[in-house]
Amino acid sequence: MKSRYESAKEVFVDSVDLDDYIELESSLTAYQQLEHSINKPLKMILLFGRPGTGKSILLNRLHDRLKYQKEIYYFDTPAINEKEFFHKIFKVLTKKTLPQNTEVNFSALVNYCKNMRGKREIIIMLDEAQMYGPEMMEKIRLLSDSRAVKFIVSLHKTEDEDLVAKEHFQSRIWEVVELHNASLKDQTTYIHKKLLKKNLFEIANSIKEKNFKLIHKFTKGNYRECNKMMFTIFEICEYYDKNEPAKIRYDRIPKRIIEMAALKLGYIHV
């Protein structure tokens, strides 16, 4: 028989699926900031935050909500090379496909954009933009100078670098929107809603306030870490449910299991 924990575990498989989008205080704030920035005469918008703070899902949400009102495009991962990237841009702008073996004439593309000014307004979202090199970024900036194409550049911030301090983000063309790890409240809502969406009411109720606090402490409110943690907790529950049911109770999650998950994920050490 399928353990009830198996379904709970599946809820926390990491994915960027819009059907699973949850309105949280932090995501709503960032969403509104982005939407507001889009409507300003800006050229570049920087969306940044640590890995796993929800940048990709937010961009997907924005795309989904605006796609019928605006010309908006989402580029998920950077192209393998510059040539391929400009082929993609060319297609978005001209709605034509260039033959494989031709190079995009960059200055012609810039002129094309200048001519579009006032006629079309295109928004291009570049996810994972930390993978674009400085030269590419410079060209992207040149395209945005036309004011016909606006870029939302999403980057993840790592422990050791202060992105905003980097040279090309210093100029005033940038507007910055930052995503943070979740507060305890947002993380609790996130876990609850994810489970409730799959009708796992009993399991949702079995996670008590002190459990949420502990999970938040270990994961620091990072959504990806939270997914891993919840997955592991339910994996352990599933194991007991199948093999040693006497050790588990359906009405609450023992602290011990959360600690075992934390140990397995390396948040704590023996």
Stretch that binds ligand ATP, among 51-59, 63-71, 75-83, 240-248 (CB under 6 A): 51-59
Nearer to Mg ion by C-beta: 223 or 231? 223
What secondary structure letter does DSSP report for 97? Answer: P
- Considering all CA atoms of the chain, what is the largest pairwise distance in Å, rounded to the nearest integer? 72
Site for ligand ATP in 128-167 (CB under 6 A): 156
Select from ligand ATP, Mg ion, none the partner in contact with residue 27, using the beta carbon and a kind-dependent cut-off of 5 to 8 Å.
ligand ATP
Answer for which of 63, 224, 252, 264 binds ligand ATP (CB under 6 A) is 224
Tell the burial category of 7 from Cβ atoms under 10 Å away from its Cβ (0-12, 13-18, 19+): middle
By C-beta, is 146 or 232 nearer to ligand ATP? Answer: 232
Instruction: Provide the angle, in degrees to the nearest 10, between the axes of the packed helices 184-197 and 4-11.
Output: 130
| Residues of this chain, 22-41, that bind ligand ATP according to CB under 6 A | 22, 24, 27
Q: Stretches 52-60, 63-71, 136-144, 238-246: which one binds ligand ATP (CB under 6 A)?
A: 52-60
Minimum distance from CB of 18 to ligand ATP (Å)?
Answer: 9
Return the bridge partners of 123, or none: 72, 150
Backbone angles phi, psi at 244, to 5 degrees: -135, 65
Query: 110 vs 176, which CB is nearer to ligand ATP?
Result: 176
Q: List C-alpha distances in Å: 35 to 7, 88, 169, 204, 268.
A: 35, 24, 20, 33, 40
- Catalog residues that contact Mg ion under the rule CB under 5 A: 56
- The residue type found at 244 is E
For ligand ATP, the binding residues in 175-204 under the rule CB under 6 A are none
The residue among 56 and 222 lying less far from Mg ion, judged by its C-beta, is 56
Which residues are paired to 73 by β-bridges? 124
Q: Which is nearer to ligand ATP, 114 or 197 (CB)?
A: 197
Return the residue of 21, 112, 174, 250 that touches ligand ATP, per CB under 6 A. Answer: 21
- Rounded least distance, CB 219 to Mg ion, Å: 17
What residues between 62 and 121 interact with ligand ATP by CB under 6 A?
none
Report the candidate in 38, 26, 43 with the shortest Cα–Cα distance to residue 63: 38
Among 8, 52, 85, 241, contact with ligand ATP (rule: CB under 6 A): 52
| Chosen from ligand ATP, Mg ion, none, partner binding at 223 (C-beta under 5 to 8 Å by type) | ligand ATP
Q: Tokens 């949400």 belong to which residue?
A: 61
- H helices then E strands: how many in the chain? 11, 5
E-only strand ranges, 93-190: 122-126, 149-156, 174-178
- By CB under 6 A, residue 16 contacts ligand ATP: yes
* Range list of β-strands (E), 134-232: 149-156, 174-178
- Single-letter code of the amino acid located at 228: K
Chain residues in the site for ligand ATP (CB under 6 A)? 14-16, 20-22, 24, 27, 49, 51-57, 156, 223-224, 227
